[in-house]
Structures are given as C-alpha cells and as structure tokens.
C-alpha cells in the first residue's frame, strides 16, 4: 500500500520536488513585455528519459533533435519562438545553443531544447546564448520555470506529489506544462516536463508514459489544431530508494496519471478564451476504440463548443456528431446527459422547459460532464474539451503581431 500527498510549495513543487532536479526561468528579451521567456531543467545526475512527440508532419527542429535520445540531464526551453519550419538553420541554431551550454557547464550530458511560439522564424540565438550563460544550476524554482514557458497561457501549470510506501520509502513525481491554444488530441498541443526520483528502466518508463498519455494529454482538445512542437519529457534521476518493477508499476502509473491528468485538464481549462472545462464521458460503445473516436469527435466539434459557450443545452448537436463519427450507433439505444440531467433516453426526447432550465444550470458551471451512452457494448473513453468564444478569435487574430 502507499499514500499520495500533493505538495503545495510552488517553488519546490513541479519539477523541483524530485531529488536531484533544479530549474529556473528568466527573461532573455524574447517577449517584448519583458516577461520570463527562457527556462532550464537540470539534474545533477544523468537521467533516463522517456518522450512523446507531436504527430504533426511539420515537426519543429527540437523534435528532430530529441527523437531517439534516452538519456539527458538538461533541457533548455524558450517561449515566443517555435523554431519550426526553419529548415537546416533551425537545427544549426539549436545545436549552437546547446553547444555553448555544454562549454559553459561541464556537467551537462546530451542537453536538449524545447521551443514554443511563432512558426517560421529563426531563433534569436544570440539572446538565448547570452542569457543561458547566466543560468545558476543550483536554483530550485519550478514556479519561475513554469512562467517562462507560457505563451498565451492565462496561468502557469505545475503539480507534484510525494508517494510514501508502507515500508517508509518515498519517491516524488511532478511536472510543469504550457498550452492554451492549438490543442488537439493527436498527442495534444503543449510542452510538458515531468521529473521523478523513482528508479525505473527507460523502456518500462516509456511504456507507462505512452499508456498514460493516451488517457490524458491525448484526450484533450481546445481548438482541433495540432502543433508542430508537442512534447512530453519524463526524466528519472533514480535518487530515491524506490525501484519500479512489475510488482509496483501500477503504483507508478497511478502517480504519473495524477500529474498528467491534472496538467491535461489545466490546458483545456486554460483554452484561449475558454470559460468551461467539459469531460465527455462515452459509455456503451462497441469497444474502447469506438468510444475514443466518439469522445474526440465531440470534444473537437465547433458547433458543440459554441453551444457550450452560449450555455445552450442543444443535445441535437451531440447526436449529430455521434452519428457523423462513423461508429456503431442507434438512436433508439442512445442516452445523453448533462451531469445527472437526462435530455434524451433511448429514442425518447425528454427535453422540455423544466429540463432546459436544469441543463442550463449545469452549463453555467465552470466544470461539468456530458455523458453519452451508446448502448452498443462495453466500450468507454473520457475526453476533455472546452467552449469556444469571441476571445479565442481575438487572441489568435493578433497572435503574431
């Protein structure tokens, strides 16, 4: 048995709670307003590394540079510039930056880089190199790092947990993430960095990350667009007394799921201009694959998103999207609910003035569930989505300028 405790100390939470990890964020002048825009995550030992990257065919330079790497102890992250669609120059600029860091800090091993921001513009490498030379690798300030990686985010996203075993051993896990727009469940659009001091083989860590990612980041949608820079890094310093093996891997997966589920929901909650976080709970599909397909169809639908923004319990848009998803379904077996308010049940439209008021009250909440039971089998899947309003257009119309 084990006990999980959420750690509230912001500076020492996030990526800095795990033993051996350090982080900070600062301004390199990439953001015109002077906000923090450059961060690092450092481990004083070489870490095992598991990664998941975007499925976008126009993947950014940092993705190409990091693919295949299974050990590192340093990641530098910049915001405001994605270093995507920059061709060979993008790789050359990145390599020049990490080479300068290796020369400055002799303890770095396989340094990696992550970037987020505008596509098609070369990195301001001189600014980054100059500021990165001032990094203090003894600092533990996850809060600063989480702020530095933000772009259109309205708030920073960090979380950490301490897991205590019955025998007295303890390990930690935590992370930071950024993302608010260009988020679609094709791995989800964001950067996420997770650290742990549990000792775990790289191959097992990669397997667990893939599984948890499917149910968390890959189940999140804001606007249906898939970024060029999606990245999840999971680093293990192995500095605790806890070894993860077949006897306790479910415990580690549970802890990792807590971190990633929190951050995935935070991304959707912070969707550009969003006012609501909705969990689409698909039940009774023919199988889990079809349930996932329906959940993601609903979470991506612009018609549904705008209805959410207007707090209009228009269940017809849900039925339309389910039918359009291509899965096995039958209107006489379908049931649709907003939280515990049933609007449509197995071919019977229950919608009336009273139900509309009850469902409308559900939609006024900042978070609620929409459950669709297809009545076709045992398949299930949960996906996370948000509403879409005027603010999204405003933010993205002015994003580059």
Bridge partners of 220?
A: 384
Strands (E), 246-294: 277-285
C-alpha dihedral (205, 209, 212, 216), degrees to nearest 10: 150
297 is catalytic: no
What DSSP string describes 18-37? STTEEEEEE--S-STT----
User: Using CA atoms, how far apart are residues 278 and 382, in angstroms rounded to an integer?
Assistant: 10
Q: Among residues 189, 216, 279, 297, which one is catalytic? A: 189
User: Using CA atoms, how far apart are residues 207 and 52, in angstroms rounded to an integer?
Assistant: 11
Q: Give the strand order in the sheet containing 367-373.
A: 348-349, 341-345, 335-338, 367-373, 277-285, 379-386
Handedness of CA 270, 397, 61, 44 (dihedral sign): negative
The angle formed by the CA atoms of residues 265, 292 and 70, to the nearest 5 degrees, is 65
The angle formed by the CA atoms of residues 17, 105 and 138, to the nearest 5 degrees, is 30
User: Using CA atoms, how far apart are residues 258 and 249, in angstroms rounded to an integer?
Assistant: 14
How far is it between the farthest Cα atoms of the chain? 70
The CA R_g of the chain, rounded to the nearest whole Å, is: 22
Tokens of 14: 């996030």
- Strands 348-349 and 367-373, how do they pair? unpaired
Tokens of 24: 């900070």
Tokens of 96: 């020049």
Question: Quick check: 146 and 11 in contact, CB under 8 A?
Answer: no
Question: Quick check: 228 and 306 in contact, CB under 8 A?
Answer: no
CA 115 to centroid of chain Cα atoms:
15
Q: Is 36 exposed, middle or buried (0-12, 13-18, 19+ CB in 10 A)?
A: buried
Active site residues: 189
């Amino acid at each position: 048995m084990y006990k999980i405790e959420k750690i509230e100390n912001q500076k020492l939470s996030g990526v800095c709670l795990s033993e051996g990890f350090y982080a900070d964020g600062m301004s390199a002048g990439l953001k015109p307003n002077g906000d923090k825009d450059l961060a690092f995550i450092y481990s004083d030992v070489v870490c095992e590394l598991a990664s998941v990257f975007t499925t976008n065919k126009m993947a950014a330079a940092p993705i190409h540079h990091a693919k295949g790497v299974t050990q590192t102890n340093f990641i530098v992250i910049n915001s405001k510039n994605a270093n995507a669609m920059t061709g060979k120059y993008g790789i050359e600029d990145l390599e020049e930056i990490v080479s300068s860091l290796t020369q400055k800090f002799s303890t770095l091993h396989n340094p990696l880089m992550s970037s987020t921001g505008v596509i098609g513009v070369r990195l301001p490498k001189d600014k980054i190199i100059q500021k990165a030379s001032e990094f203090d690798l003894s600092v533990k300030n996850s809060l600063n790092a989480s702020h530095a990686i933000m772009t259109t985010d309205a708030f920073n996203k960090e979380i950490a947990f301490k897991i205590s075993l019955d025998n007295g051993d303890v390990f930690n896990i935590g992370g930071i993430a950024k993302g608010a727009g260009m988020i679609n469940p094709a791995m989800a659009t964001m950067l996420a960095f997770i650290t742990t001091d549990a000792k775990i083989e790289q191959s097992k860590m990669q397997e667990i990350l893939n599984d948890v990612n499917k149910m968390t980041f890959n189940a999140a949608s804001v606007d249906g667009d898939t970024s060029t820079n999606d990245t999840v890094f999971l680093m293990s310093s192995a500095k605790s007394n806890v070894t993860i093996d077949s006897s306790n891997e479910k415990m580690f997966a549970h802890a990792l799921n807590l971190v990633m589920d929190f951050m995935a929901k935070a991304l959707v909650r912070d969707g550009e201009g969003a006012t609501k976080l909705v969990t689409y709970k698909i039940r009774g599909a023919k199988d889990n694959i079809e349930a996932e397909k329906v959940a993601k169809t609903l979470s991506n639908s612009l018609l549904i998103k705008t209805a959410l923004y207007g707090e209009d319990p228009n269940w017809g848009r849900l039925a339309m999207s389910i039918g359009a998803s291509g899965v096995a379904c039958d209107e006489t077996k379908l049931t649709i609910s907003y939280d515990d308010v049933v609007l449509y049940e197995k071919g019977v439209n229950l919608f009336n003035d009273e139900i509309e008021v009850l469902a409308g009250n559900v939609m006024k909440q900042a978070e609620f569930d929409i459950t669709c039971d297809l009545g076709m089998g045992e398949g299930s899947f949960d996906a996370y989505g948000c509403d879409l309003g005027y603010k999204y257009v405003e933010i993205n119309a002015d994003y580059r300028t």
